[in-house]
Chain A
């Protein structure tokens, strides 16, 4: 059974710092991995989708990497800003699109 773990559970950094959020999964046979952002009381916003054949994806200040063999993904946020404060969730699809498994998330706070 696939399990997704995110470390750390919470993180507080000063503005301008580069940071890395970690995601690990137990079964490497995945279709894709997706990173989301969730603001309090809101839905999830898709940040990056990495297909199983890809190693990384980039969007603006965000870069996500995928290492299937070790069951790990990282989300790199460059030059963090207070507006980046949110919960970041990692999700793994290992069934072709129907039963995506989510991690519990990392709550990020960027101090001005």
Chain B
């Protein structure tokens, strides 16, 4: 069966520091991969999606970037965090035009 792992689960970072969140999927090949952000009291916002290695589409201009160095690995990064980057980050995968499956999320607090 397919599983999705996301880490770290929680992190507190100072403004201006770098960020790296990692997500890996097991049990499937060539998945579509996604990064979402869920701000307090707000809905899910799609940040990036990827249909293959090295293929990244950005949905929202921001301080973040994403990379897909391997088929089942998706990384969310920032060179310098802003206060507004705080939130709950969720990685997800899907087969082609199919059901979305989410990881457990990463809670980021920028101080």
Contacts and interface: CB of A to CB of B under 8 A. Distances in A.
Contacts of A96: 97
B56 to A, nearest CB: 12
Interface residues of B, number: 25
Interface of B: 6, 32, 42-44, 46, 49, 51, 57, 59, 88, 90, 92, 94, 96-105, 107
B102 A104 contact: no
A61 B103 CA distance: 24
B8 to A, nearest CB: 14
Contacts of B100: 34, 44, 46, 91, 100
A102 B34 CA distance: 14
B57 to A, nearest CB: 7
A-B interface, 4 closest residue pairs, ranked by CB to CB distance from nearest: A97-B97, A43-B102, A44-B102, A102-B44
A1 interface: no
Interface in A15-49: 31-32, 34, 36, 41-46, 49
